[in-house]
Amino acid sequence: MVRHNNQLPDNLPQLQNLIKRDAESYREEFLQQYQHFLSVLEIFRLEPDKENKSLCESIMFLAQVAQCYVEDLKTFPQTIVDLLKTHSTTLDPEMRNTFCRALILLRNKNLISPLDLLELFFQLLRCPDKALRKFLENHIITDIKNMNAKQKDMKLNSTLQNFMYTMLKDANPKAAKMSIDIMIELYKKRIWNDAKTVNVIATVGCFSKVTKVMVASLKFFLGTDEEEEKSDEDSDKEVDLKGAMMAARVNKKTKKRKKQLEAAKKLYNQAQKKKSKAVSFNFSAVHLIHNPQGMAENLFKQLQDGNERFEVKLMHLDVISRLIGIHELFLFSFYPYITRFIQPHQRQVTRILQFAAQASHELVPPELIEPVIKTLVNNFVSERNSSDVMAIGLNACREICVRCPLAMNEDLLRDLTMYKNYKEKSVMMAAKSLILLYREQMPTLLAKKDRGRPTEASVEIKPKKYGEVQAMDHIPGTEALLNAAPALEVDEEEDEDGSDSDGNWVDVDSDDEVIEEKKKGITMIKKSKPDEEASDEEEEDEDDDGEWETDSEGGSEDIEDEEEDDEDEPEEEVEEKPEPSRKNANKKQAKKRSSNSTSIPAEQVASAGTTLTSKEAVQELALTKIFTDADFQRIEQEQIKKKMTHNSRKRQLEKEKSEFVKLDDIELIYKKRKTDKEARIESMKKGREGREKFGYKDNRHDPFCSKTNTEKRKNKNFNMIRHKARGKVKKSFREKQLALRKHLTHMKKMK
């Protein structure tokens, strides 16, 4: 009996399996199939637009066994490439997909160069086949990622990037859009995260005539916010493992719940691994642009000349403002343009205010930004508007002034600070945040009562003029290490005896003579006595032990506290005398100081000179000493102390300047938001925790005993007990009289 399904010339899968096991034994069968492929190929070239299944089967068979007969199939890959190049648009979709899969198989076996294949696939992106374009996009990204997995192939990457540069200018919008998507995806995967990729997108993609390509390029430069949102979503998903495990214990055991618990554990483990990974610092794409000034000017020109949708215009404004703020550019015509849109009724006005703040920096002339602030104040900070609009206007003024403090003049600032006593809390808090900002930046612009009690830091503040740069010749705060109590080199024998020695260490500003000379402007460095050193140490340690309390509302309560203190106490502060020291504590602290080496050795000071000013000593310390973590912690504590008033307990939070303005900083309004029904129910349930159950309390000893008829009546339908409810109505005197007469008459009859 003959088994027809085992005939090798026709059963290609079986022949393919046998060839892979023993190629030489089945060489004749392979040559027969190869001749068949050539003949079918000639037939196909006569009618390339018709589907030919026999050709597809032959091509896939030859691609599977190509590694076994490399010499015989030397021209086979190029034949398929030529077919796709010649008939890419006229081929049947199924056949075109089969040819591409065959080429990918040959690429995996290193029988075709990756550069030739990728260039072909980029050209095939012009085909009107969405499924094929998506398939090719995934392969291109995966292939380039695998080629750069162990080591980046710079030559190949450079060639592909140059080819991509031409593809972005392609007349076919679909091919250009797919090319820009591939470049952006490769940048996000940190494969092509170099400056060349960024500048190709900046110079070609952002100015493409195809709107989709232009929008994708603009979104690329605004991608940091989307990544932060994704990370926030991931952090929300990683919770509730405890809840899932508790539910698995309590609920009925089913396969579905078991799978859900395993998935929750898997997500939790992934989140823990992400947390344990080292933070990778990756520059934003905006930092890698070679010519930011030219790009900003061209984008602004494109914005003015174009007629795109409002959302696309907002993207232009966002990118331009980020370029101006990060690279500190000069684009003077941008500020009058954006001033036109600063109206409360303007659509997406908070985002426009965000762009105005992002485009502000210290090098912009104040007279350019001052009209923006005046327009903002006139249109927003007015009592004819709602409190929310006023608060948003004040917040926007604050964000602009953080980056360009000179843009605010004294008269306007004092008018805005008057809103600190406004009836609405949102406006009041926004005004106080503006006061806190100028306390740190330029306290002289504020009224005397708004400056707060002077601190060491506020006294040291020198308002900068326009374009002024304050170059530091030392590390700010290192005088804390000079003023710190020195570490004494104490031998163990002397410690046991309780005796002290001067050692080779010197102290700065610890003697009374030094304090007197410091008033004259000169600080002398002398050898100090150990007892005085110890007392200074203890005084500083007591200051350090205190806990700092921070205010979540930006230190607005500090303003109220300080205003009250200013009324009660005089401006002059009396120096407190140090408390007496303890010897044992002094010696332990001295040992710790010596191990951390926070003081200057005497030999080192002698080499620098016997007498040094405080400034010279700080410079000498920065040049000769390697600071430890303890030293930096001490410097930070001293800097915080400088910002503290004498009796203040709360730290005033300084507004730090960041690269991008967060929309929440402008839209933040201090008021109680309206909650939905679910939030109200949840708050009610939280309030019931830890208290007795509400309802009727009968004070029974046994809660399971029977109930009275009166209690049962409460759960009955009213129609059942309506006749009894009537009886509860009190009778009138006349009704009682008639009832009694009726009763007496009835009794007489009974007799």
What pLDDT sits at residue 689?
82
pLDDT at residue 559 in the model:
55
Mean pLDDT over 525-549 rounds to 39
Q: Which of 298-312, 347-361, 640-654 bottoms out in mean pLDDT, i.e. has the lowest?
A: 640-654
DSSP 453: S
394 to each of 214, 340, 380, 397, 435, how far by Cα in Å?
Answer: 34, 18, 8, 5, 11
Strand partners, 611: none
505 SS3 class: strand
pLDDT of 671 reads: 66
The residues, ordered by sequence, that sit 6+ positions from 714 with a Cβ below 8 Å of its Cβ are none
Which is nearest to 175 in space by CA: 133, 232, 224? Answer: 133
Q: What is the pLDDT of residue 411?
A: 92
Per-residue DSSP letters for 357-383? HHT--TTS-HHHHHHHHHHHHHHHSST
What is the number of other CB atoms lying within 10 angstroms of the CB of residue 269?
A: 12
Determine the Cα–Cα distance for residues 702 and 169; give it in Å rounded to an integer: 87
Average pLDDT, the chain: 76
C-alpha to C-alpha distance for 72 and 60, rounded to whole angstroms: 16
How do residues 98-143 score in pLDDT, each as one tens digit?
Answer: 999 999 999 988 898 888 888 888 888 888 888 898 999 999 998 8
At 739 the pLDDT is 93
Of residues 278 and 89, more confidence is placed in 89
Residue 192 has pLDDT above 90, yes or no: no
The pLDDT, as a whole number, for residue 619 is 78
Q: Which residue has the tokens 């000593």?
A: 617
User: Comparing C-alpha atoms, which of 546, 547, 535 is closest to residue 585?
Assistant: 535
* Lowest mean pLDDT, pick from 199-208, 419-428, 594-603, 677-686: 594-603
pLDDT at 353: 94
Cβ pair 392, 350 in contact under 8 A: yes
- Mean pLDDT for the stretch of residues 234-242: 56
Q: What is the pLDDT of residue 90?
A: 85
Q: How many CA atoms lie within 13 A of 245 on its CB side?
A: 7
Q: CB–CB of 107/139 below 8 Å?
A: no
> What single DSSP character describes residue 485?
P
| DSSP state string for 407-424 | GS-HHHHHHHHGGGG-SS
| Mean pLDDT on 2-9 | 53
Q: What is the pLDDT of residues 269-279, one digit of tens each?
A: 877 776 665 44
How far is residue 290's CA from residue 296's CA, in Å, rounded to a whole number?
A: 12
By mean pLDDT, which of 1-5, 146-150, 366-370, 661-665 is the weakest?
A: 1-5
**3-class DSSP state of 462:** coil
Distance CA 405, CA 655 (A): 12
Say if residues 224 and 284 touch (Cβ distance below 8 Å).
yes
Lowest mean pLDDT among 196-200, 221-225, 243-247, 439-443: 221-225
Contacts of 725 (CB under 8 A, 6+ apart): 718
Each residue of 713-741: pLDDT tens digit? 888 888 888 877 766 667 889 999 999 99
| 3-class state of residue 525 by DSSP | strand
**C-alpha distances in angstroms, 501 versus 367, 444, 481, 595?**
64, 49, 22, 17
CA dihedral over 700, 701, 703, 705, signed as positive or negative: negative
C-beta of residue 469 within 8 angstroms of C-beta of residue 588: no
- Residue 678 identity: E
Most confident of 13-22, 304-313, 598-607, 658-667: 304-313
Cross-strand pairs, 525: 508
Look at residues 331, 409, 437 and name the one whose alpha carbon lies nearest to residue 665: 437
Q: Compare 745 and 547 and report the one with higher pLDDT.
A: 745
Query: What is the Cα–Cα distance from 355 to 324, expressed in whole angstroms?
Result: 10
C-alpha to C-alpha distance for 23 and 67, rounded to whole angstroms: 10
Judged on CB neighbours under 10 Å (0-12, 13-18, 19+), 650 is middle
Report d(CA 602, CA 508) in Å as an integer: 11
pLDDT in tens, 443-498: 888 888 888 777 766 666 777 788 777 777 777 777 777 766 443 333 444 444 44
For 61-95, give the DSSP string: HHHHSGGG-TTTTTTHHHHHHHHHHHHTTTS-HHH
Q: What is the 3-state secondary structure (H, E, C) of 682-704?
A: HHHHHHHCCCCCCCCCCCCCCCC
Q: For residue 215, give Cα distances in angstroms to 141, 190, 303, 312, 313.
A: 21, 21, 13, 7, 10
Which of these, 398, 407, 418, lies nearest to 372 by C-alpha position?
407
Q: In angstroms, what CA-CA distances link 674 with 424, 625, 667, 671, 685?
A: 16, 57, 16, 9, 18
In DSSP terms, 651 is beta-bridged to 550
Q: Quick one: tokens of 62?
A: 């030859």
Q: Which candidate, 90, 86, 81, 98, places its Cα nearest to that of 49? A: 90
Dihedral sign from CA coordinates of 131, 137, 140, 143: negative
Q: Which residue has the higher pLDDT, 618 or 659?
A: 618
What type of residue is 227?
E
Radius of gyration of the chain (CA): 41
Residue 707: which pLDDT band, with cuts at 50, 70 and 90?
confident
Closest to 199 (Cα-Cα) out of 169, 233, 165? 165
What 3-state class would DSSP assign to 574?
Answer: coil
Q: What is the mean pLDDT of residues 416-438?
A: 91
How far is 276 from 549, CA to CA, in rounded Å? 30
Task: Please give the DSSP secondary-structure letter assigned to residue 601.
Answer: B
Phi and psi at residue 550, to the nearest 5°: -105, 150
d(CA 570, CA 137) in angstroms, rounded, equals 74
| Residue 14 CB-half CA count within 13 A | 8
Per-residue pLDDT band for 371 (boundaries 50, 70, 90) equals very high
Q: How many C-beta atoms lie closer than 10 Å to residue 51's C-beta? A: 13
CA quadruple 327, 329, 335, 337: dihedral positive or negative? negative
The residue-averaged pLDDT of 368-379 equals 94
